[in-house]
Structure 1
């Protein structure tokens, strides 16, 4: 018991903290300002609730308060989903806290739960008998307000007999009404109202079957079985026997969506979802009527002069689509009926929008004249722009578009000699092995055809992985990658794959395969233009570029596909261990005073080539480190073992050759 009390106190405190953070400090209203509280029984988003809100706001927006500002506040009790009294008690301190900061001139209560709540707690919350205008209240009688001060409103009453009589007149072969609803207090009371009118139809052989308190799937199965001669009356349904909550529309769609017989109803939220119609209770009409009464109170009309509106503002409303479905003539409907989903005739459209139509035609005429005048000019401009685009495209074949972007230039015409920018990038150099020997056996035309064919195969690998080609140097490619090192490494791998396809094409022509070497480094570089006003060229100036070129040259020495620098590996950060590579050691390259740490990128090899390289990687790297320490004798057996198992290991061959040369020098 103490735990329950403690839980309640915590919930109350949470509500107070919430409203304390969300509600601004409001002083009591001045004479030029009125506050209206709308207390909803249900939750925001429920179609009935939203229609009531629409009616209230529409009426207030159309009212004319001279010099008076009306502010509307909304509270939602959410009793459809939380029915227990203990929950409602938790609302009292939150509303009381707000009422101490906002003075409400009128309260509009929507539906029964809100009105009963105010009967019990109005003075406790608001400290005075604030005027209350209710709407959506079922089964009203004068005794309801006995002994209660400052209450008036509009009653919600469904016209049970009117809708049944209309349905029988439109469907004279009807023998049975099937009433669908939940087992809530309101639904039980509605069913009693229907049972009161049942005797009027017994002598006509009309039966009434009530389906309540079951699972919604059972309702659907029963309704799907109904044959002509039956009519479904859709009553209120929010909760099935499993205590599962549904919105009105969700419930209706589930149990009546496949009905083959007409479905009539008393509430507007079923219209447009498959119900034919009936004498309808409208949430919007209830809200409008309540708001109209509230406005009279704000205008100073005494409560005693505003009686309760006991005649529910219901009206006949029908769905045009359902009328067509069941072959119901509009002429058979009651006078003054409203239709939804009714198609607009051409005459109605013309009468409604005649001024717009004439204005539109005048505008079209004017635009046609303007278009005719502009057409010739546009055609000329298109030809000029097409020529300009072709010219720019031709420029971009010589100067990469990316160069202009990095120089912050929109057009090549904006570039001046000396424009430059500093960036960190990855640099890739690739070259065809033994190209000189290949070219000696080809004519100049064949040389150019071969190089262009090779470049057309290989170059997309660079563009597709975030790089751009800085220049072609004969058979060599120099490319830049402004993104992460992943991009350049993926490009190198893709280039080796594309080379396989290129060699397959050459094999079909009876030509020998070619191989390439790729060197990759990462560092700062300067992109810019060199030259003079009459002749310029884009270029890259950096020691990093020279090192990438030297690494490409090392691929010939080590017999490797791809060699990368330590800077590339370091820039991978936590991804460095996700890729296959092996340490080649510290090598001296031309133009560098200090040795450079390099790696062989094993991802560039095919699966067959890669397997022995991976298997003996640790022994290879151990041999490299032994050589670096000068332990040649210990390194030799490891390299011999590797070459015995994998004679094609180019790097192992090179290191073994170095050991032999060193050994021979020692013997001399």
Structure 2
């Protein structure tokens, strides 16, 4: 058991140290360009796989191919490989592939096989083999007919074609394929096939060829005498004596005198079989990798030979590549040229971009300067005083209206603070507002009363907002001042004018109030006079008369005092009682309402302390008086003996104190109910249209409440909502 464990650990360590092994079995010898190119491409493909080791064996069958030699190779490989196990075997060209098939059980049992460079591949040979699930690869197909077509496309006046081949195994296979092609083109060309001539006679024959002839070189590794040539040496000897183009079928002949053709590419074979090898080594079963039956051939030409015979390869209508084309400096140093051109292009783009940017900046700067001048004129033209300061509270500038308001120049404003221009109370209040704005980045609107250097009092609304710099940081605060002195005076005038409009009704009310005490005073005077004439006047009667008269006179005096207080405007907001406000109104209007056959109901829904409102008391009473008078007059206009109702509800809600003035004297036309609060809108023949408009101004603008009107069944309801004062 211990021995098995040790062996298993040794096996794991061996696998870890050596990874995977691949054997490349080459049919030929090192230095043969075809197989060298295949090996080079396979090495490139496998190089990124760092755990793969590639071993190459050369069979040298171009030089020797006897059965005894093949047997000796098998014995040699058996000795070499007896302690090695390969993960993959790649067989290059026919000799190596046939050797692998014959010796698989002996040398490569259970080892996947990939082949490449196989001429005249017989697929049935693998399909009938017991190793068919262990073999795949790439065929090497020479497309003879397309090469014949190419030759005739390049030389349409061609009359003779000399085909040169040898009697190697590949050469004999090619001869078999050529037979049908030669027969097909024999009517168009005089075709001569040579494969057994010695090199000297062959050179002599080639040197005497006419110009209407071309050569198709198939293979030339041996001449008729058995003399061996390297692939370079053979073609170079032919090229030295030939005065006609030499076409070839293999890419390794290019660069040594062959013009080109649709050649079988060793590089393409190597790339394709390398990709297959990676798939096998990554775990793909070889039976799932299909055999590539279409050889990856391509059209290749030698620039020197094309120019030598002045042939136009552009006219063949096929994709092709050219070797040995003379390169300019740019072509010879493509990478450097591309980098240099890219840098130049980038620099040019940068220069043009910078130039365009400079032009844009000049245009933008001019536009900005013009805009700054325009904004400066615009700001100076505005009647509203404007100033702006930094976040530390120092003034950065102002417009003309602000400097005129303070009677100083604009330059004197810069660097100063609010304490230099306003009273300490106003300056501290504004400082507190500014600090809050800088935190919230919002806006603020507040009121202040300003005493100007020329001893005028101004009522001003200050609107402030924070401005930001381009980088998003806080720049400071902009302040726009709105002088509302004239508007306040005008509103106060309108309020007083509205009061005057109510005076007719109030005088009538006072007349009603004075009627009863005057009657009583008259009766008392007459009674005193009668007692005096009858000598019945006593001191007690005089005293009683005086006391009763004073009661009536005080009542009448109070009526006049209430009237005077109603006319006097409120100068500041105060807390006042709603109940008391209504009581003072009913002191004036109460009897008139009673004698107008109106049923007055007063509902006060507040059981705690007295319900107070914060605002302008007299103006608020003016609103109530206006609404009650409107309801009363509407009922009187009906001239009906029917008794109507005037209901007043006072409700304390969570956020509002709600006052409802309700009458059943007739609904408001739905077409005008939304317009009754507009200035100058009236349905009365002699009306001014100020009453309800001023009611809305007083309640909403001056006291921050809400006033609305609506029809509710047969009733008209005016609702006033006053917010609770929060302290």
Scaled to the shorter chain, the TM-score interval is 0.3 to 0.5
Q: Which has the higher contact order (CA 8 A, sep 6+)?
A: 1
TM-score (norm: length of structure 2)? 0.44
Give the number of the structure whose alpha-carbon radius of gyration is greater. 2
TM-score (norm: length of structure 1)? 0.47
